[in-house]
Chains A and B, each alone.
Chain A
């Protein structure tokens, strides 16, 4: 059994900052060494910005927690330099089965499109995700301080003062910027007296991670109202190391402490898996959830990212995946502001773009929850009618909602977007969209994008290494007449003959034109840096 989450990975070590008579100053302090905090530190480090990461713990998260990592997260992880270990270790799945009562009503295949480096999803315990992040952070010499609890956050005019508590007593530091990645229960949010409003769902779910020798296929199985959990739902999903995630809906009026006891958990699992299956419990937890977000994610020099800023129900794997999209959005903007390449106002667009993302996730996960747990007799009647019909008729299957799996967010109509001057090009690569991957020069396109602004020239020429406002814009290009670039043409040209794309450091499209025009590109970069806000 894996006990990585019991081993300290960034144990407490006394730091010179603790012996200073006046508080040490840092450019960026990150509160929380979970997936969002560590990924932020890595993104900033890749932009040449140092940060200090403070966490009240000293190890990766306890239990498997988040287990579904979406393609976009893997692409972001690739850009941050830890994509390979995730995919090497993770379990790839495509097939999902939906059961209603005692029968299978239908199955779906995520049918991954060819020509992408990464699969649609992998399943991986959160502790592995964090372990690989810590490893990557170590390569970049990131200052992670374990058992260092932030007890006070005081924003000032041009810096933020933090009190940090340790085994050796408290000390103070000052940071120009603070990124609060301290989870749904964010102490930073409470210390600053900020709101976190939304909808509470009156339901409890039992998560049991078990190791077993049974041969269930690598598929996602979801039950509505099964005989072994009447009136409720159930989920079975595979993780690496022979670990299975079992999720059983329990309803509202339960005694959590009682339900968590092995003597109560084991009979439930036996009823589901059959008496003859041998299994061992790795982790048991009971959770309730809310769908809510902060009114604003940016509060001057303190910026919230991940669960501290927004919380969703687990259906659809939109928690950790949306947190990584926050990081992707914030990293380059904060780096540009710190380096003086962009005005402070650029950070307000983190709010605009990621609040839009959070609202999309809250909408989707609330709808899934309403389908899984009907709130009235009538909604249950319709829900059951959909499930009954789905067995026989294809039309009803898109209505079945056991979680709408996390898809990358598009920033349609947002202020950093430039023009779409190629009307015949496909909608999937319009301004605001994350770039779809495609085979490119024997590799994959996304490996060549990100970190900086990039011009992608297809069947037309762009000058190389253009400098605009002190930025070096990287230029890549391809002729799509070659058969190997078929997918590139389909995803970026459609019916158009040629195009020039301007792509942001987070791989989202800024603008596209039929050909290179220096003035147009300059204007678009200014827009993307928030100069027209």
Chain B
């Protein structure tokens, strides 16, 4: 089992952030919310490991 990575793990952090924002550009609040939901589901499935997902849910709570 892998632990949830909470240290920098994206090589080009600024590029990632820019892509994330540009994906939302021009979307209504409703469409953005739907986009985010789809993205979370896709990423969660990619991770798959339920312990990592649980740890991520915990980390996001702050």
Residues of A within 8 A of B (CB): 381-382, 384-386, 388-389, 393, 395-396, 399
Contact = CB atoms under 8 A, between A and B. Distances in A.
B34 A384 contact: yes
Interface string B24-62: 000000000110011011100100000000000000000
25 contacts: A381-B33, A381-B34, A381-B37, A382-B37, A382-B40, A382-B41, A384-B34, A384-B37, A385-B34, A385-B37, A385-B38, A385-B40, A385-B41, A386-B41, A388-B34, A388-B38, A389-B38, A389-B41, A389-B42, A393-B42, A395-B42, A395-B45, A396-B41, A396-B45, A399-B41
Nearest to A398: B45
**Chain A interface, >50% SS class:** helix
Interface of B: 33-34, 37-38, 40-42, 45
Contacts of A389: 38, 41-42
Contacts of B42: 389, 393, 395
Nearest to B38: A385
A404 B23 CA distance: 35
B20 to A, nearest CB: 17
Nearest first, the 6 closest Cβ-Cβ pairs linking A and B are: A385-B37, A395-B45, A385-B38, A381-B37, A382-B37, A381-B33
A520 B51 CA distance: 39
Contacts of A386: 41
**Chain B interface, >50% SS class:** helix
A389 B37 CA distance: 10
Nearest to A386: B41
A334 B52 CA distance: 47
A393 B45 CA distance: 11
**Centre residue among B40, B41, B45 by max chain A CB count within 10 A:** B41
B31 to A, nearest CB: 11
A395 B44 CA distance: 10
Contacts of B41: 382, 385-386, 389, 396, 399
A385 B41 CA distance: 8
Contacts of B45: 395-396
Contacts of A388: 34, 38
B7 to A, nearest CB: 27
Contacts of B37: 381-382, 384-385
Given A385-B38, A393-B42, 17 more contacts: A381-B33, A381-B34, A381-B37, A382-B41, A384-B37, A385-B34, A385-B37, A385-B40, A385-B41, A386-B41, A388-B38, A389-B38, A389-B41, A389-B42, A395-B42, A396-B41, A399-B41
Nearest to B46: A395
B21 to A, nearest CB: 20
A522 B37 CA distance: 56
A388 B40 CA distance: 13
Contacts of A382: 37, 40-41
A490 to B, nearest CB: 28
A385 B31 CA distance: 11
A130 B35 CA distance: 50
Contacts of A396: 41, 45
B19 to A, nearest CB: 19
Contacts of A399: 41
Contacts of A384: 34, 37
A399 B33 CA distance: 19
B14 to A, nearest CB: 27
Nearest to B33: A381
A247 B33 CA distance: 30
B47 to A, nearest CB: 12
B37 to A, nearest CB: 4
A381 B45 CA distance: 17
